Structure 1
Amino acid sequence: MRDTIAEVADLDAFEDAAWGSLDVAAAYWAAPFRGGHLSVRMKELILVAISASVTSLNHEAVRRHAHRAIKAGATHGEIIDVLLTIVALANHALYTTIPVLDDVLASRGQGIEIDEAADAEFEAAKQAFIEARGFWNPDREALARLIPSYYRALDALSTESWNGGPLTTKEREFICIGIDSTVAHTYIPGLRRHINNALDLGASAEEILEIFQLTGTFGLESYILGAKVLFSESEAESPDPALSGGLARAGIDSTDR
């Protein structure tokens, strides 16, 4: 944690102001890394996924954990595998939004015309997805039938890393468990599915519990961000030295109240 704070802020100034809280934060940060069920490489790849997911997009955390993953033995290809695997997370919203549209249209006596001739193509796409991913989510049915061209592109994206990526299937299931169990995106259907898949592939409950710990410690990103805002060494001076970093970065004149 001290190294992380030092990357973004004046560590000495932060420690002087933080009354010893850095020791507690550092111990919490280190807790998931004390267990030996997942490798450090795997833990860092999971943190890359959590940081880069559409519900986070934490640039500095992605950079930090990508560098640490490489140091722990990950390859650039494996990190790209992670990044490709998590792209489709944004489509979880469609599992809710499309049924809402369908309900509203039905209440108005309207509907969306479905091309019945596309059934054979749909069934082929469904089987290809099951072969690549090992499951079928019924929520995907509406996407495939109502917006078939979009679904075909999504299906190709959703299976690409599973068909050809360098991570193992079990490792990719760990990535999916991570992104489906964060405070910003707790997606129970996906979480249950990927836990079952991981267990079928030989994962242990202890490994999955370490993933959950990693998602919990992500809350410390607020602490790290605060250190940067308050004590960034690279920011210009302002009448309030403690706030100069954040105010200057936001383009705010600290004398303007």
Structure 2
Amino acid sequence: MVKSTQIGPNGPWSAMAYAILEEWDAEWAAFCRAMSTNAWTSGTLTPRFVELVAVALCTACTNLDRAGVRQHIRAALGAGATRNEILTVIKMGSVMAIHSCSLAAPILREEAGSEALAASVRPVGETPACDRMKAIGQWNTAWDPFFQLDPSWTDEFMATGAGIYGAGVFSPKETELLSIAFDASFTHMYAPGTRRHIKGALAAGASVSEIMDVLKISVGYGVAACNLAVPILAEEIELLERTRR
């Protein structure tokens, strides 16, 4: 078994997985490392923000990569990120689960039909969080179907989300770039949100290169497959060889 070594910058890599892979296939490992760590070395995004994007990718409710979360929280803190910034990213990773409703609520309305929908109508009551978002032009019409199905719960959700996005922890540009990472991630691939947040990032002053580097971090995180499986393969080969002795 190859012992863990430090490679810098690690980027999305587990040092142990990379060391094993480098021993087995040095050429492919070098190509893959250059590609997957490009956003860490390009200088387009600050080291702090690169690591925050990596935290977002790992902590997203569609991914939940425990080892990656710890690795990139540690690196983000080392690069100057604050507890509040990292906690905000974690909160963002939680509320992205709303896309379950964005996807399914319109389908539910279509399939249920008018009679079933009429029978399930809930009293609207007061919806201050939704009203506030509509008043400031932040309401997304993709939320209309589940608002119509359950306005009270939708308002509870919007109050939760507004507390994150309205806190001013990140600049509008950084908020949009992080949102792109969540939606474009290969574990999510939510096209409507990706387009909306790319438009928002451009409007907030992000460059094409900055957005592209967020996407490169997302692609580079494909090496999570190596981080997970290469050490297991090495362990199983070592176990098999021991049983044959």
Q: How does the TM-score come out when normalised to structure 2?
A: 0.83
Show the counterpart of 2:112: 105
Contact 2:39–2:45 (Cα < 8 Å) also in 1 = no
Cα distance in structure 1, aligned partners of 2:73 and 2:198: 24
| Aligned residue in 2 for 1:247 | none
Query: What corresponds to 2:140 in structure 1?
Result: 137
TM-score by length of structure 1 reads 0.80
Work out whether residues 183 and 193 of structure 2, in 8 Å CA contact, stay in contact via their aligned partners in 1: yes
CA distance in 2, matches of 1:39, 1:87: 24
Q: Deviations over 1:12-40 (max 9, x none)?
A: x5433234332222212221223222111
1:44 and 2:47 correspond: no
- 3-state SS of 2:129 partner: helix
Q: Which amino acid aligns with 1:156?
A: A
1:82–1:172 contact (8 Å) kept in structure 2: no
**125, 129, 134: which one aligns with 2:129:** 125
CA spacing shift, 1:56–1:170, aligned 2, 3 Å: same
- In the alignment, the residues of structure 2 paired with residue 228 and residue 238 of structure 1 have an alpha-carbon distance, to the nearest angstrom, of 12
Partners of 2:57 and 2:63 within 8 A in 1: yes
2:3 maps to: none
Instruction: Choose from 70, 80, 86 the match for 1:73.
Output: 80
DSSP 3-state at the match of 1:196? helix
Contact 1:50/1:178, CA 8 A, preserved across alignment: yes
Q: Tell me how far 1:171 sits from its aligned partner.
A: 1.2
Does the C-alpha gap of structure 1 residues 9 and 223 become closer, same or farther in structure 2, counting only changes over 3 Å?
Answer: closer
Q: Does 1:205 align with 2:214?
A: no
C-alpha separation between the residues in 1 aligned to 2:218 and 2:21? 25
- Percent identical across equivalent pairs? 27
State the secondary structure of the residue aligned to 1:185: coil
8 Å CA contact 2:39–2:213 kept in 1: the answer is yes
SS at the partner of 1:164?
A: coil
| Structure 1 letter corresponding to 2:139 | W
Quote the Cα distance in structure 2 between the aligned partners of 1:85 and 1:200: 21
Shift of 1:153: 1.9
Change in Cα spacing, 1:22 to 1:185, as seen in structure 2 (3 Å) is same
Q: Report the alpha carbon displacement of residue 44 of structure 1 after superposing the two structures with TM.
A: 0.8
**Cα distance in 2 between the residues matched to 1:130 and 1:206:** 32
Find the counterpart in structure 2 of residue 31 from structure 1: 38
* Match of residue 177 from structure 2: 174
Q: 1 CA distance for matches of 2:130 and 2:117?
A: 23
Matching residue's letter, 1:210? D
